Structure 1
Amino acid sequence: MKILYDHQAFTGARYGGVARYFYDLIVSLRQRGVDARLSVRFSNNVYLLNSNQFRTYSYRYFLGYMPTSMLFSQVNRLLSSAQVMQHDYDVFHPTFFHPYFLKFIGQKPFVLTYHDLIKERLGDAYGHLDNANKDLKQTLLDRSARVIAVSENTKKDLVDLFRIDPDKITVVHHATHFRTLNVPAAFQVQTPDTYLLYVGNRGTYKNFMPFLKAIAPSLKSHPHVQLICAGGGPFDATEQQLITELGLNGRVIFHDIDDFVLYRLYEKALAFVYPSLYEGFGIPILEAFATGCPVALSNTSCFPEVAQDAALYFDPASETSMRQAIEQLIQNDALRASLRQKGYVRQEAFSPEKVTTQTLQVYQQVV
């Protein structure tokens, strides 16, 4: 079986859950002898550049980040279009929502993965920069042979918000490579003795600034506890101003990451906190489980489905609820130990092998 994936998730994204999902899937399929091809030539994606399985070339942002990424995306799109047009594959799997391939694909089947409906649930101000409106996504859903949803919650959202037969949707949960990540024992990261961990982007629906306001009193009343924000870029001027206004200078720290660094940050953290208003799955939850890090989550969207009883939940719209959860995590050693153990158990429900097997079954259904 030949599967063709395109460039969309990889051109401009150095990291990210969508790129990681497709990268792991392609590598795993190849290990099973499946001819899984990725149509991308120019990329600064760390997963591709650190692998010897892909012929990609990095580029400098000579026009600035966004204009340069858009330019190379256009080049990659031309290359992807040429490969789609050749029809030398059994199934095409686009990695995002640009419909460029529809004019070239003919009668070849394609499978669409839907990660979340944040934009549709919360509005454009909270959504991803996918540049795809609802009508365009409806067209892709209509034309697709099958749709993969990464959670039951995402499947429910698709059925609620689009015209689609539920039987057309297969739920395939995410997994994390952190379960098998071999971090050398000698590799260590310097951190504060006691800290809470926040991971990833901090804008809009991620709810970071309301979360920071909510926990500021707890950080002040427990001066030994700090907050590390891993990834997502350095604090911008607005974030830095809020940190100053809250009197938390030196207590809220940005930390750049790669896989090894992030693994150690989870491993040494008092707890990982995920205050998002909405998510499609939440891979960091599985990363925390794999590293023995206690987890505290919003009680919204997919989070209860993914973590079940292995997390402490709070209302992300309530400062009081978030603050109370943080206080429990800081003060209750037994709670943290219980969450750590439950996380180890819960992670067994998710594995890269299961993702690969279930996705391959979807491909076989449409061929």
Structure 2
Amino acid sequence: MKILYDFQIFSNQNVGGISRYIYELITQFDQDNFIDWEIPVIYSSNIYLKKHPFFSKKLLPHPFQLKDNVNFISKAAFVKEKLLYKITNQIHKERFLVMEYEKNKALNIEKIKQGNFDIFHPTYFDSYFMDYIGDKTYVLTIHDLINQVFPEMMLYQPDKNKAMIERADRIITVSENTKKDLINIFNVDEQKIDVIYLANSLEEKSGHVSEEFKKKIPEKYLLFVGGRLDYKNFLFFAQMFASLKLKNNDLNIVCTGSPFNASEQYLFNKLGIQDCVYNTFVNDDELIYLYQNAIAFVFPSVYEGFGLPVLEAFSCGCPAVISNSSSLSEIGEDAAVYFEPKNPESILNALKNVVNNPALREEKIAKGYEQLKKFSWEKTANQTKEVYKKALLKV
């Protein structure tokens, strides 16, 4: 059985849950003689794809690196010309990324037209393939429906259109909660949907973090992992942290991901917590270190299709304090401490209980290890293979 995955998520995402999902699937299928796969891609900066032996030497290098070595006579001229230089480079970089996307897309269209595959499995929600797929079997994974559930919170609207969902022979959702949303919003036949959980990719280990990195991290901190869009509820968490810190003066927040923006920095200053909120972009080893040494991992999101960081925390022996919304209680069960994501008293009580109660932290760490046993990429791949079989049989 040959599966054609497309390029989309590997052009859209350098790092993240969806591209990791596809990477873990193909890694498992490498050990399965029944499954053959292909991902037509010329350019990609995705870190997981670059790790795979097939792509590590095949991908063309990304030609753009912003250079910061301009020298000018006066400070004013330096600032002005340097800014112009950066803007020009950014424009060229964005043009290249569009070109990169279109070249990958053209290659994928050609592969779809050739039809040398049994099942097509797109990796994201550009419906470009609908004009070319004909009657070939196709499987779609729905990770979440955040755009439909909370459209007011989203800056963009990926093309998750009804025609694309209706055309799919089988649909995979990554949680029962996402399945429920799919049925309620798009009226999809329940018999067409298979729920397949994701899994953890971090292996608990230590000793691979530099002393320089360790020195940047405060001794006592709560950990926030991932993006900070509105639905992630980070700013609400920051406000609650300011109240918590009144009686826990040595407590900090450590965030992973993109640098803080101006609005976030303004709020930190207003709350008086600007000196105890840290941000760093990390590799897997550094992320493991952060989980292992945190007082707790805090996940205040109002909506998640699955919630991979919850399993990451479990795998690293980090107590998880998470909202009881969407799929999170489904994934965490009794291994986490829960709160109402928009209730100040609820989140403060949850944080106080975990910060001030070592016995509770130890209890949740032990339960987290047990809960983690229910998830594995091997199980995800095996269940996905069964969905592919059902799709081919049209059942």
1:352 Cα offset (Å): 0.7
Instruction: Select 1:112's aligned residue among 117, 130, 140.
Output: 140
SS at match of 2:310: helix
1:199 Cα offset (Å): 0.2
**1:226 is the counterpart of 2:252:** yes
1:70 is matched with 98
1:169-188 to 2 correspondences below 5 Å: 169-178=193-202, 181=203, 183=205, 185-188=207-210
Whether the 8 Å contact between 2:206 and 2:289 is mirrored in structure 1 is no
1:179-258 to 2 correspondences below 5 Å: 181=203, 183=205, 185-188=207-210, 189-190=213-214, 191-231=217-257, 233-258=258-283
1:98-152: CA deviations, max 9, x gaps?
Answer: 11111111111110000001111111x324745315xxx2101111110000000
Query: Which letter maps to 1:57?
Result: L
SS at match of 1:201: coil
1:318 Cα offset (Å): 1.3
1:313-324 to 2 correspondences below 5 Å: 313-324=338-349
Instruction: Select 1:103's aligned residue among 126, 131, 149.
Output: 131
Query: Which letter maps to 1:72?
Result: E
1:136-192: CA deviations, max 9, x gaps?
Answer: x210111111000000000001011102100000000010111xx374534354122
Query: Which letter maps to 1:212?
Result: A
Q: Separation in 1 of the partners of 2:361 and 2:61?
A: 42
- Percentage identity across aligned positions? 38
The number of residues matched between the two structures is: 360
Instruction: Select 2:120's aligned residue among 81, 89, 92.
Output: 92
1:207-231: CA deviations, max 9, x gaps?
Answer: 1111111121112321221100012
**1:148 is the counterpart of 2:151:** no
Q: Separation in 2 of the partners of 1:128 and 1:350?
A: 32
1:66 Cα offset (Å): 4.7
Whether the 8 Å contact between 2:147 and 2:157 is mirrored in structure 1 is no
Whether the 8 Å contact between 1:12 and 1:44 is mirrored in structure 2 is no
1:272-292: CA deviations, max 9, x gaps?
Answer: 000001010000001001111
1:2 is matched with 2
1:302 Cα offset (Å): 0.4
**1:132 is the counterpart of 2:159:** yes
Please, what is the CA RMSD of the aligned residues?
Answer: 1.6
Q: Separation in 1 of the partners of 2:208 and 2:259?
A: 27
1:82 is matched with 110
Q: Separation in 1 of the partners of 2:222 and 2:360?
A: 15
Query: Which letter maps to 1:101?
Result: F
More displaced stretch, 26-35 vs 351-360: 26-35
1:45-84: CA deviations, max 9, x gaps?
Answer: 1111233221222422654465443331111111111111
2:361 is matched with 336
**1:47 is the counterpart of 2:48:** yes
Q: Separation in 2 of the partners of 1:256 and 1:192?
A: 15
Q: Separation in 2 of the partners of 1:89 and 1:165?
A: 26
1:279 is matched with 304
Whether the 8 Å contact between 1:197 and 1:229 is mirrored in structure 2 is yes
SS at match of 1:102: helix
* Structure 2: runs of 5 or more not aligned: 66-88
**1:57 is the counterpart of 2:60:** yes
Q: Which has the larger radius of gyration?
A: 2
Query: Which letter maps to 2:125?
Result: F
| 1:176–1:128 distance in 2 versus 1, CA, 3 Å | farther
Query: Which letter maps to 1:310?
Result: A
2:19 is matched with 19
2:294 is matched with 269
1:244 Cα offset (Å): 1.0
Whether the 8 Å contact between 2:204 and 2:316 is mirrored in structure 1 is no
| 1:186–1:93 distance in 2 versus 1, CA, 3 Å | closer
Query: Which letter maps to 1:109?
Result: T
Query: Which letter maps to 1:50?
Result: K
* Structure 1: runs of 5 or more not aligned: none
More displaced stretch, 181-190 vs 35-44: 181-190
Query: Which letter maps to 2:112?
Result: V
Query: Which letter maps to 2:222?
Result: L
Whether the 8 Å contact between 1:215 and 1:322 is mirrored in structure 2 is no
| 1:359–1:126 distance in 2 versus 1, CA, 3 Å | same
